[in-house]
């Protein structure tokens, strides 16, 4: 195998939404979230950072609602 070896793709099931998607398998590591859920997770992390740094109580309420909605959609346990 050279440096231009093909990555092995495989049908994987998303841990969050349950949809199947084609993902790459690198050694023991398997991707367990589909691209949509990965994006949602990144957005959730960004909103969490904003929630921590925000001081305005009205904005904090709005941001916390967004965070709750996203975490409920992903349902990953954190």
Instruction: Tell me the pLDDT tens digit for each residue of 3-60.
Output: 666 677 888 888 888 899 888 776 666 678 888 988 998 999 999 999 999 999 999 9
pLDDT of 5 = 65
In a domain, residue 63? The reply is yes
| Coil, helix or strand at residue 9 | strand
> Residue 12: its pLDDT value, please?
87
pTM for this predicted structure = 0.71
pLDDT at 16: 83
Count structural domains, the chain.
Answer: 1
Has residue 7 been placed in a domain? no
Query: Does a structural domain hold residue 3?
Result: no
Residue ranges making up the domain that contains 64: 35-74
Q: Which residue has the tokens 């993902």?
A: 23
9 is a domain residue? no
- Name the more confident of 61 and 2: 61
């Amino acid at each position: 195998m050279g440096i231009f070896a093909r990555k092995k793709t495989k049908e994987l099931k998303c841990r969050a939404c349950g949809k199947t998607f084609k993902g790459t398998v690198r050694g023991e590591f398997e991707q367990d979230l589909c691209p949509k859920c990965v994006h949602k997770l990144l957005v959730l992390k960004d909103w969490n950072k904003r929630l921590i740094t925000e001081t305005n109580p009205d904005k904090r309420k709005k941001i916390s609602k967004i965070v709750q909605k996203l975490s409920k959609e992903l349902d990953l346990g954190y």
